[in-house]
Structure 1
Amino acid sequence: MHGRTVDALALDNYQRAARVILAHHLVTRTYPDRIALPLIRRWATELREDLAALFGYRLEVTETTARVFPVLDRLDTSRPARTQADRVFDRRRYAYLALAVAALGRAGDQITLSELADQVAAYTSRVDGLELATDRTADRDAFVDAVGWLTHRGAITLADGDASGWANDPQAGEALYDIDRPVVVALFRPPRALQHLHSVRGLLTEAAMATSGAAPAPTAAETARRVRRALVERPVVYADDLAAQDRGVLAQERIVAEVELFTGLHAERRAEGVALIDSSGRLSDIRFPGTGTLAQVALLLAGEIADLVLDIDNPLPRRCCAPDRGEALAAQLDDTIPESSVFAPLAELRSLDPPEREPVSPEPDQDQTAARPVAATYPLVDATWVRETVQALADRYGATFAAQWQADIPGLATEVVSLLERLRLIRTVDDGLLVLPALARYRGAVVTVRTKRAAELFVTAADTYESDRPARKGTD
């Protein structure tokens, strides 16, 4: 591992490069900023070897791009594509994005926005239920959001015109883009040809597929790499979420220390699991605690939930954690695969269903029962209590909220709960939410509300929320 041999004065620089490439996977001359690519290129050899040894990732570095090809152990919905206004992509925007990448791969050095739209519209005619009608405002807005995502990452660069002008009136507005072909090529590099897959599970690592009987059991080295991947990909790694062999690896000091040395982050260890604390902000896609109404209300709600859980006079009911949504998500995605697009003669995975097994006796022997681990249970908070608590917070501090949330408290409650779930502080269930152990580190939140003084005529009231706990950031 090169982190042990890099000069002490340069170690921080190396760790910063590691955090950048782990956070973004694709680095270009302008994305995420102009200093990222030179930083990655400086340490390209060391990063390539350490990423392969520690995580099983492959790093490709060129003059204009740096691309990490990760290993997928599970399906993850916590990092969706977002618009420039921070709205989550819907299915239509994802479809336009995929088709735009396909069109750019066949284009020349430049393309106009209307030409790109015409090509994408032609592609949509081959997909049932999908259409890009440039005379519809909603379709144009969704298409421009997909183009904006590509522009932000440097796949295309605006040379002339204005995309918003075209979105407002395609007859009067136009935009011309330069195409950066290496970035376009680097954007879409699936580990397997999609036309050869009958299931989205075929994109997962061989070790993950082993649980379905489609691959042999992983070796000790592969298990260690899987645990290290979990540490840098999840905000919190709970031991109860891991397989039995993975829990033993997570408990090893050496495994966690290697990730700390590579990333420069501090690992917070608890009996329930491990979390990397990112005070640098270079590995996190979510800053928490943070600024803005959602982050601030989420911190306040976390404090309220912690107080409720710690109230010994009114103990909460407990329930086993809900099963991982990965299998349900995989089934939903598999149902949407058009069979006509699958190239059957070269199909790599015709079925990933577990093999048939002998029926299990309804009365296992005593030794089997003793060896079976006891499922962890977590406090259950009623959904009604959550809504009422968010409403109470709005009644108390609502004047300091962003205008859109002042008018939509139910929507605010939904988004706040979603944020806490992305941070793996809670798990939502049908009738409420399960409180996960990491939420306890945000108990005792302190609120300070600044109000304008009489001499300050034009100062807008603002609030700040401070925690007596160190700030931890999400590392999805």
Structure 2
Amino acid sequence: MRARTIAPLDLDSYQRAARLILTHHLVTSTFPDRTALPLLRRWATELRDDLLDTLGYRLEVTETTARLFTVLDRLDPGAGTATHTDRPFDRRRYAYLALAVAALGRAGGQISLSELAGHVAADASRIDGVDLATDRATDRDAFVDAVAWLAARGAISLADGDAGGWASDPDSGEALYDIDRSVVAALFRPPLALQHLNSVRGLLANPADGAHVSDGRRSAEATRRVRRALIQRPVVYAEGLDDAEAVQLALPRTTADLEVLTGLVAERRAEGVALVDTSGRLSDVRFPGTGTVAQVALLLAGEICDRVLDPDLPAPLRLPLPADEHDALVAAVDAAIPRSGVFTALAVTGPPDRADGDDLSGERVRPEHPMVDDAWLASTIRGLVDTYGRTFAAQWQADPAGLTDAAVALLAKLDLVARVPGGVLALPASARFRGATVSVRKRDPQIDLFPDETSETESHE
């Protein structure tokens, strides 16, 4: 591993570059900032070798872009992009984004916003279920969100005008953009032509087939799958892995290379492993974090731990994790593939099945986890609102039910709980946040030039 030969004084710089490209798979001269690309260019050779050997990722670095081509072993229902206001893209915005990239690839050096909208509208009209009507404000807003996403990454840059003016009134507003063709070309580089896919499984990694490769190759592939999971997920539980992957997760060498590559620290427990990001530069969701939802989620995690461990209350019901929904997610995506556009002569369905010796974890005894029901969750959130509500955002003070859903969704995204019918299962990693302490600062509208000696904060545990 090249990282092990880097001088200790330079290792921090190298690890910052690794975290940067693992967080932003496309880096340009302006995205995410102007210092990012020079940093990656400095360590391009070392990163190219280490990312390929450790994770199976391919890195391409040019004068104007750095592009990381990752490998997916499974579909992630929580993955995706968002607007500049952190609103997740919906299907319409994704469609406009894809069509805009295609239109920019055919354009010259500049393009106006109305011209780009015309190209996207023309292409959308040939696709069932997709259309762009510039006389509809909702369509214009969605299209401008897609354009803003491209502009933020440097694919286009505003030369004149204002996209907001066009979104408000396309008859009087206009914007002109310069096109960076190198960034446009780097944006969309699938491993296979989408017209050659019968199933989204064709975009997933090919597991090693024991009938055709050596045991060493199969072991190396299992190690890379586990490392990719550690990078992509908040925590990796052994119960969710097959036998070969569970063995690799238990080996210290599996995480040792990731620690050197990223600077993160592996936290190992009997149930699984998590890479702890003390820098806050690799995680897309910081937890604990700021904001009402994050703070309530932290409090709720502590309350769940207290409920599970409370000896004075009846022991909670214990259940195994719900069945894996990956196949259902694949089927849902496959159902949206426009079959008329598939070139059947070259169509690929997906990776080969796992070898017979690579049994899934379903063959092992499935551990059970304590459950807390929806009524307890709702009651607990109401209690938190009563105690700390004056510090919450106004919208959540008036909507405890919505706050409950948002807090539970955040905990589920972090693999601290798992949703089941009627409640949630408390997963092992949630124990990290047992006994959370909250300090609430008193706010006095009157300025007291001679405060008394009473404390300015109230502490609650």
TM normalised by structure 1 equals: 0.89
**Contact 2:159/2:178, CA 8 A, preserved across alignment:** yes
Taking a change above 3 Å as real, the CA distance of residues 190 and 129 of structure 1, as seen in their structure-2 partners, is same
State the alpha-carbon separation in 1 of the partners of residues 457 and 166 from structure 2: 40
3-state secondary structure, aligned to 1:295: helix
- Map of 1:419 onto structure 2: 410
Tell me the alpha carbon deviations over residues 29-71 of structure 1, each in whole angstroms, 9 at most, x when there is no partner: 1111111111000000000000011011100001111011011
Structure 2: distance between partners of 1:285 and 1:400:
25
Letter in 2 for 1:154: G
1:187 corresponds to 2:187: yes
Task: Find 2:439's aligned residue among 448, 452, 456.
Answer: 448
TM-superposed CA distance for 1:353, in Å, is 9.3
What is residue 360 of structure 1 aligned with on the other side? none
Equivalence for 1:291:
290
Does 2:167 align with 1:167? yes
Residues 117, 406 of structure 1: CA spacing in aligned structure 2 closer, same or farther, 3 A cutoff? farther
Equivalent residues of 2:297, 2:408 under 8 A apart: yes
Which residue identity does 2:116 align to in structure 1? L
Which deviates more, 383-392 or 132-141? 383-392
What amino acid is aligned across from residue 235 of structure 1 in structure 2? P
- Residue by residue over 1:401-459, the C-alpha shift from the partner in whole angstroms, topping out at 9 and shown as x without a partner, is 223323333222222111111111111122211111000100111111112235339xx
Query: Partner of 2:256 in structure 1?
Result: 257
**Aligned-residue CA RMSD in angstroms?**
2.6
Q: Kindly state the Cα deviation for residue 465 of structure 1 after the two structures are TM-superposed.
A: 11
Residue in 2 that maps onto 1:143: 143
Which amino acid in 1 is paired with 2:234? P
Of 396, 400, 404, which residue of structure 2 is paired with 1:409?
Answer: 400
> Which residue does 1:229 correspond to in 2?
228
Aligned twin of 1:130: 130
Letter in 1 for 2:222: T
- Corresponding residue to 2:382 among 391, 396, 412: 391
Which runs of no fewer than 5 residues in structure 2 stay unpaired? 449-455
Counterpart of 1:240? 239
Structure 1 pair 456–152 and aligned structure 2 pair: CA distance change class (3 A): farther
Give CA-to-partner distance per residue, 1:222-272, whole Å, 9 cap, x none. Answer: 111111111111110111111111111111111111111111111111111
Alignment of 1:300-311 (within 5 A): 300-311=299-310
Partner of 1:319: 319
Q: Distance in 1 between matches of 2:153 and 2:197?
A: 28
Cα distance in 1 for residues equivalent to 2:292 and 2:150? 28
Amino acid at match of 1:283: L
Give the 3 Å change call, closer, same or farther, for CA 270–62 of structure 1 in structure 2: same
Distance 1:100-1:465 versus aligned 2 partners, 3 A rule: farther
Mapped to 2, the partners of 1:117 and 1:324 lie a distance apart of 40
**Does the 8 Å contact 1:65/1:183 carry over to 2?**
yes
- Separation in structure 2 between the aligned mates of residue 265 and residue 467 of structure 1, nearest angstrom: 31
Tell whether the 8 Å contact from 2:418 to 2:427 is kept in structure 1 after alignment.
Answer: yes
Is 1:14 matched up with 2:23?
no
- Give the CA deviation at 1:467: 11
Please give the alpha-carbon distance, in whole angstroms, between the structure 2 residues aligned to 1:66 and 1:163. Answer: 27
Secondary structure (helix, strand or coil) at the match of 1:257 reads helix
Matches of 2:156 and 2:396, distance apart in 1: 34
Match of 1:361 in 2: none
Question: Structure 1 residues 464, 70: CA separation in 2 closer, same or farther (over 3 Å shift)?
Answer: farther
Q: Which runs of 4+ in 1 moved over 3 A?
A: 213-218, 351-355, 454-457, 463-468
| 1:219–1:297 Cα change, 3 Å | same
Offset at residue 395 of structure 1 (A): 2.5
Kept in 1, the 8 Å contact 2:231–2:275? The answer is: yes
User: Could you say if the C-alpha distance between residues 410 and 443 of structure 1 is closer, same or farther in structure 2, counting changes exceeding 3 Å?
Assistant: same
1:170 Cα deviation from its structure 2 partner: 0.9
Deviation at 1:102, TM superposition (A): 0.9
Q: Distance in 1 between matches of 2:396 and 2:141?
A: 23
Deviation by residue 1:54-91 (Cα, 9 ceiling, x = unmatched) = 01110000111101101110001223211111111111
Give the drift of 1:314. Answer: 2.0
- CA offset at residue 354 of structure 1? 6.5
Indicate if the aligned counterparts of 2:439 and 2:460 stay in contact, CA closer than 8 A.
no
Cα separation, 2, equivalents of 1:244 and 1:464: 51
Contact 1:92 1:142 in 2 (8 A): yes
Q: Which amino acid aligns with 1:59?
A: L
Paired position in structure 1 for 2:103: 103
Structure 1, gaps ≥5 residues long: 358-367, 458-462, 469-476
Letter aligned with residue 150 of structure 2: L
* Shift of residue 120, structure 1, vs aligned partner: 0.7
Q: CA deviation at 1:466?
A: 9.6
Structure 1 residues 42 and 303 mapped into 2: Cα distance closer, same or farther (>3 Å)? same
What amino acid maps onto 1:441 in structure 2? R
CA contact (8 A) 1:421 1:427 kept: yes
Other structure's SS at 1:207 match: coil
Please report how far the alpha carbon of residue 112 of structure 1 lies from its aligned counterpart in structure 2 after TM superposition: 1.0
Range 131-140 or range 399-408, more displaced:
399-408
Mapped to 2, the partners of 1:325 and 1:414 lie a distance apart of 20
Q: Which residue of 1 aligns with 2:453?
A: none
What SS class does the counterpart of residue 207 from structure 2 fall into? helix
Counterparts of 2:148 and 2:314 in 1: how far apart (Å)?
A: 51
- Matches for 1:25-36 after TM superposition, within 5 Å: 25-36=25-36
Offset of residue 6 of structure 1: 0.3
Question: Which residue identity lines up with residue 230 of structure 2 in the other structure?
Answer: L
Q: Is contact 1:199-1:352 (8 Å) kept? A: no
Contact 1:378 1:435 in 2 (8 A): yes
Deviates more, 1:125-134 or 1:213-222: 213-222
Decide whether the 8 Å contact of 1:207 with 1:215 is kept in 2.
no
Measured in 2, the distance between the counterparts of 1:420 and 1:465 equals 26
Q: Deviations over 1:79-119 (max 9, x none)?
A: 32111111111111111111111111111111111111111
**C-alpha spacing 1:55/1:465, structure 2 compared with 1 (3 Å):** farther
Equivalent residue letter for 1:292: G
Distance 1:278 1:90 in 2: 29
Q: Secondary structure at the match of 1:445?
A: coil
Cα distance in 1, alignment partners of residues 256 and 149 from structure 2:
36
